[in-house]
Structure 1
Amino acid sequence: MIEAAEQALAFTQGRCRADLDGDAMLRMALTRAVEIVGEAAAQVSEAGRGELPAVPWPQIVGMRNRLIHAYFDINRNILWDTVLLALPALLQQLRATPGKG
């Protein structure tokens, strides 16, 4: 989860929201990175989730499902906000727990 989240954030360095509309490679990269975060979250056991109760597990997995199953109907604003607003907080939570991610 950590690696994919870090990659998503790296993809946005020096970029703005408008770039997401005009750059198919950026869209694909961010979509795939967020999918990977969600897939990894889906694999975390209930015990593991219990160690990080503040992490919004259902929302992370739900985002992954939305990206996978409704690929041609992705709200780019939500994707962008997820990367720039939600992933930094998620990374902070994951890094605060040794052995996670």
Structure 2
Amino acid sequence: MSRSVEQRIEDILDSIERCRRYVAVLDGSDSDVIDMAEDAIERNLQIIGEAASHLTAEVVAAHPEIAWPQIRGFRNILVHQYFGVDIAVIRDVVENYLPPLADAVRQHVESGEDVP
């Protein structure tokens, strides 16, 4: 079953919020909880990349400030080169790159633009 663009945007926003919450756990002292948070963040980044790869050209074109190819590429790295993923890079992505992505897709939804 295919998901609509609206659903994919919601998937992106939900996954960004989860990453934001989970990244706070990385500074804890329980190594098992930290491992689980890292796994959860990576999974949600994969969801973001997959959902972004299914957005329409209109949605992508409306937000040229977002590095769409890098988002899709990062998903591929997480899935296919999982052994080389550095948690510092993941933290940087969550803290510095996801907020502008959330703003862009939220802005798109709030603008009332037709999403095919």
Q: Do these two structures clear the TM 0.5 threshold for a shared fold by scoring above it? A: yes
Give me the whole-angstrom Cα distance separating, in 2, the residues matched to 1:83 and 1:18. 20
Q: Which runs of 5+ in 2 are unaligned?
A: 1-11
Give me the whole-angstrom Cα distance separating, in 1, the residues matched to 2:29 and 2:82. 19
For the pair 1:42 / 2:57, whether they are aligned, the reply is no
Following superposition, the deviation at residue 94 of structure 1 comes to 1.3
Residues 50 and 81 of structure 1: CA distance in aligned 2, closer, same or farther (over 3 Å): same
For the pair 1:61 / 2:75, whether they are aligned, the reply is no
Give me the whole-angstrom Cα distance separating, in 2, the residues matched to 1:30 and 1:57. 19
* 1:50-95 deviation line (CA, Å, top 9, x unaligned): 1222111001001101000011110111111101111111111111
Give me the whole-angstrom Cα distance separating, in 2, the residues matched to 1:41 and 1:15. 26
Give me the whole-angstrom Cα distance separating, in 2, the residues matched to 1:63 and 1:90. 14
* 1:15-73 deviation line (CA, Å, top 9, x unaligned): 439888x7210110010011110000111122221122211100100110100001111
Does the 8 Å contact 2:66/2:100 carry over to 1? no
Does the 8 Å contact 2:52/2:72 carry over to 1? yes
CA RMSD in angstroms comes to: 2.4
Does the 8 Å contact 1:38/1:61 carry over to 2? yes
- Whichever of the two has the greater Rg, that structure is 2
Q: Which of 94, 113, 116 is equivalent to 1:83?
A: 94
Aligned residues: 100
Q: Which runs of 5+ in 1 are unaligned?
A: none
Query: What residue is the counterpart of 1:12 in the other structure?
Result: 23
TM-score by length of 2: 0.75
State the SS of the aligned residue for 2:24. coil
Does the 8 Å contact 1:17/1:80 carry over to 2? no
Percent sequence identity over aligned pairs: 28
Amino acid of the structure 1 residue aligned with 2:61 = G
